[in-house]
Amino acid sequence: MSQSCVEYKENAALRRHSMWSSLAVDHLLGILIGSALLLHAESVCLWILTFASVITNELLRSGCVWLMGVPAGFKSNTELAGVLGVISIYAIQIWPTLWILIDFLFIYFIKGLGLLGILFGATIPAALITDMVSLATLQLFTGQSQSCIPGKYKL
């Protein structure tokens, strides 16, 4: 069924106005979020660093120590569990050390996100944050891809 010329023009105008309103809302949200990040960059950095420290120190380490014990009787080799647990705790300890090293650069990253939000809208900083989280958790993705047997599982 063909559309009339008037219906086609109405649909095209509706799509155009929808696109422009989406861009305007994106830019307004970017200005709001970016200016909030620029004004409160120190407190945002402190909150993120505290959150990362709590997750690393309390959640990951306590979970690793718990797994080195006897969780529900699933483990049969306590020596191997102890060695793997110590290796895991050492690997977990690397992250707070890296956070200390990038602590002075982190405020510039937050201010850069705020500036990008003001200039380009909210989607650019959101995409950059997702890319940074993907980069920070890259070891999880590489561990998953190496555990697959080639030829047996298809991706």
Instruction: List the one residue out of 69, 70, 66, 64 whose CA is nearest residue 87.
Output: 64
% helix, strand, coil for the chain, step of 5 = 85, 0, 15
pLDDT score of 76 more than 70: no
Task: Please tell me the least confidently modeled range out of 20-29, 73-82, 106-115.
Answer: 73-82
Whole-number Cα distances in Å, 77 to 62, 70, 80, 83: 20, 10, 6, 10
**Residue 2, both tokens:** 């063909």
Q: Which residues contact 75 (CB under 8 A, 6 or more apart)?
A: 81
Residue 58, judged by CB atoms within 10 A of its CB (0-12, 13-18, 19+), counts as: exposed
Mean pLDDT to the nearest integer, 122-144: 78
Per residue in 31-54, pLDDT (tens digit) is 999 999 999 999 998 998 888 888
